[in-house]
Structure 1
Amino acid sequence: MAGMTAIVLHDLGSRREARSWFATAARAAAESGGDQLHAWVLAREAMVPLNHGAPKADLADQSRHAAGSRPTAAATLAAAVTARAYALNHQSEQARAALEAANARMARLPESERSDTWLTYGEQKHHVHLSHAYTTLTDTRRARESQQRAPELSAPTSTLTRTPLHIDAAACAHHDGDSEQACRRTITALNGLPDGYRTGLVRRRAQDLYEAIPAQHHHERAVQELRNVLVA
């Protein structure tokens, strides 16, 4: 329950409160002796700084160590989160090694751990993580494969899943040399959100895209429009 509370607070952008609840969850999980539950809590906690622009690969690595090498939902999640953290820290070799581990565990994951629940890890979740990791690594071909597959596995109303994927796709357009299209796609994604949803990881992803555009292009109309949406 503490872990679930922390996740909800994280998704709402309440980072300080989320950290407090994650600490409670991690302590209770460690005391229970459940290594997979402990790994799950640590992996989800590692997503807090990851989604807010301050990735901590050491925390993600802790979750991998706790989970061990068995193909479990927690171990697969931990490897995927670690890959994202390394990618954001510009440690591409380590990121790709973690991605290989995540994909290998996903291929062996039992059906009983692939359902769509809090503690399991389905293919849709996997592709959301892959999209972000490969986008950050500027491997746009593999990123687009996951950006196409993940929405096929999620409900049309799954806003918090689809919007980050749209922004990842926009970042891929930027990496491939079309910053104007990247800005337009990000603006469309943000404007399609209900009031109050332009916070947390969604805003962080859009802000990261804006900051990735060289300063000499900031006078261009599409870039200025994106900036206006971000400061609104």
Structure 2
Amino acid sequence: MAHDAGISYNRIAEACTLKPERVSQIARGTAAVSALATVERIAGGLRIPGALLGLAAQPWEDTAVLSTEPHHGDDPMKRRQLLRGALAAGLTTPALAALTAARTDVDQTLSPGSPGSPEDLADLEAAAESYGYGYHGQQPTRVLADMVADFTALRPLLTVPQPAPVRARLCRTTGQMAGMTAIVLHDLGSRRESRAWFATAARAAAESGDTQLHAWVLAREAMVPLNYGAPKAAAELAERARHAAGHRPTATATLAAAVAARAYALNHQSEQARTALAAADALMERLPASERSDTWLTYSEQKHHVHLSHAYTTLGDTRRARESQQRALELSARTSTMTRTLLHIDAAACAHHNGDSEQACRRTIAALTALPDSYRTGLVRRRAQDLYEAIPTDHHHERAVQELRDVLAA
């Protein structure tokens, strides 16, 4: 059937991430498939519904329209609308399946021999730059839908033969887009999906040959365990990022040092945290103006103070934490809703460190209730939950503490 349709064993092998020789042996009946993982890989690669093989429904089945129906999958506008619709209700199972299908389609093209084409590369590079400026007041799920829709447009470019320099540009853009998608998923609280997108970003960055991009992916990935209760793992990733970034004053090197400082502070390694903070400050002072813009891919002074705020708050150095909180809010009128909220929660945590838990709860409640419902999830909720859990249980009967608990439960 494959030969009649003009589909080669190489093409099947690429789709199923198998060796062509293995595909040939299976097709001719000279080799058998007994491992369930291989059956699932073939089913996913060839888009065989799970029910036909006695498997559970595959993640892509509910959203196959995004990539398999010609009149939708080949139409960028309809693909974007479908993604927006899937994400409108949040990170539901169908929405996550749509994201997985989009990422997997591109991820399978990232291998040392995969070809590519530069036709629309300039437009996609411009799109990646635009997404780097953050949410711009839009809901994270809206940004996520648009970003993934553009990300899927990279796949056909990655499968057309091209010169090595153009291939490197494509992989660099792929790494940036996958990394920024991972950032939004992290902000929305989807840790597992975020890590998967960071893995794709790392593969693309490695293939592009851009060591700073690869280090940036590691530093941003470190913020997933950092913000979700695994500071030791975060410190290890941040140190890998610092090593990859080198000693030059780059945005990535500065970010990696700041993230390492936060991780060490959370892990009660105050000496290492302060050493990393000093390194981050020294790099920030020497950072060239070209890398100081306020984007996800660069490192602004405002972003620096956001990191310092959390690090010093965790260390209990409330004076320096408040200085950074104030400076971060002063530096940019464009400060995102999520960032402002995190700074307010840091300020509340400073009040708790100084012995005023009631004021800490009141401030956190005010910060949370001022948010639209779609923002009151993920990272913001986790940071507020951390504050609540830091309050000794013998204070949990107090009215302000109970009110914070009720807001978090809602």
Normalised by the shorter chain, which TM-score bucket? Answer: over 0.9
Q: Deviations over 1:183-229 (max 9, x none)?
A: 00000000000012111111111111111111111101111111111
Distance 1:179 1:117 in 2: 34
Q: 1:79 to 1:185 in 2, by over 3 A?
A: same
Distance 1:169 1:12 in 2: 22
What displacement does 1:27 show?
1.6
Q: 1:157 to 1:47 in 2, by over 3 A?
A: closer
- Could you say what secondary structure the match of 1:118 adopts? coil
| 22-31 or 73-82, which deviates more | 22-31
Tell me the equivalent position of 2:406. 228
What displacement does 1:117 show?
2.2
Q: Is 1:182 the counterpart of 2:360 in the alignment?
A: yes
Q: 1:216 to 1:143 in 2, by over 3 A?
A: same
Q: Is 1:161 the counterpart of 2:330 in the alignment?
A: no
- Equivalent of 1:118 in 296, 314, 323: 296
- Equivalent of 1:211 in 365, 380, 389: 389
Tell me the equivalent position of 2:184. 8
What displacement does 1:136 show?
0.3
Tell me the equivalent position of 2:223. 47
What displacement does 1:29 show?
1.1
Q: Is 1:21 the counterpart of 2:206 in the alignment?
A: no
Is the 2:245–2:252 Cα contact (8 Å) retained in structure 1? Answer: yes
Distance 1:9 1:172 in 2: 28
- Could you say what secondary structure the match of 1:49 adopts? helix
Is the 1:53–1:204 Cα contact (8 Å) retained in structure 2? Answer: no
Q: Which letter maps to 2:382?
A: R
Q: 1:156 to 1:25 in 2, by over 3 A?
A: closer
Distance 1:169 1:157 in 2: 16
Q: May I ask how many residue pairs the two structures share in their alignment?
A: 232
Q: 1:157 to 1:98 in 2, by over 3 A?
A: closer
- Could you say what secondary structure the match of 2:202 adopts? helix
- Equivalent of 1:66 in 224, 244, 265: 244
Tell me the equivalent position of 1:77. 255
- Equivalent of 1:32 in 208, 212, 223: 208
Tell me the equivalent position of 1:152. 330
- Scaled by the length of structure 1, what TM-score is found? 0.97
Q: Is 1:103 the counterpart of 2:302 in the alignment?
A: no
- Structure with max Cα Rg: 2
Q: 1:20 to 1:71 in 2, by over 3 A?
A: same
Q: Which letter maps to 1:58?
A: E
Is the 2:302–2:327 Cα contact (8 Å) retained in structure 1? Answer: yes
Percent of aligned pairs sharing the same letter: 85
Is the 1:6–1:21 Cα contact (8 Å) retained in structure 2? Answer: yes
Is the 1:2–1:21 Cα contact (8 Å) retained in structure 2? Answer: yes
Q: Deviations over 1:21-54 (max 9, x none)?
A: 1001112212222111111110000011111222
Distance 2:374 2:317 in 1: 32
Question: Which structure is richer in relative contact order (CA contacts within 8 A, separation 6 or more)?
Answer: 1
What displacement does 1:156 show?
6.0
- Could you say what secondary structure the match of 2:309 adopts? helix
Is the 1:52–1:200 Cα contact (8 Å) retained in structure 2? Answer: no
Distance 1:150 1:95 in 2: 20
Is the 2:226–2:263 Cα contact (8 Å) retained in structure 1? Answer: yes
Is the 2:253–2:283 Cα contact (8 Å) retained in structure 1? Answer: yes
| 32-41 or 154-163, which deviates more | 154-163
Q: Which letter maps to 1:110?
A: P
| 79-88 or 114-123, which deviates more | 114-123
Gaps of 5+ in 1: none
- Scaled by the length of structure 2, what TM-score is found? 0.56
Gaps of 5+ in 2: 1-176
Tell me the equivalent position of 2:3. none
Is the 2:329–2:335 Cα contact (8 Å) retained in structure 1? Answer: no
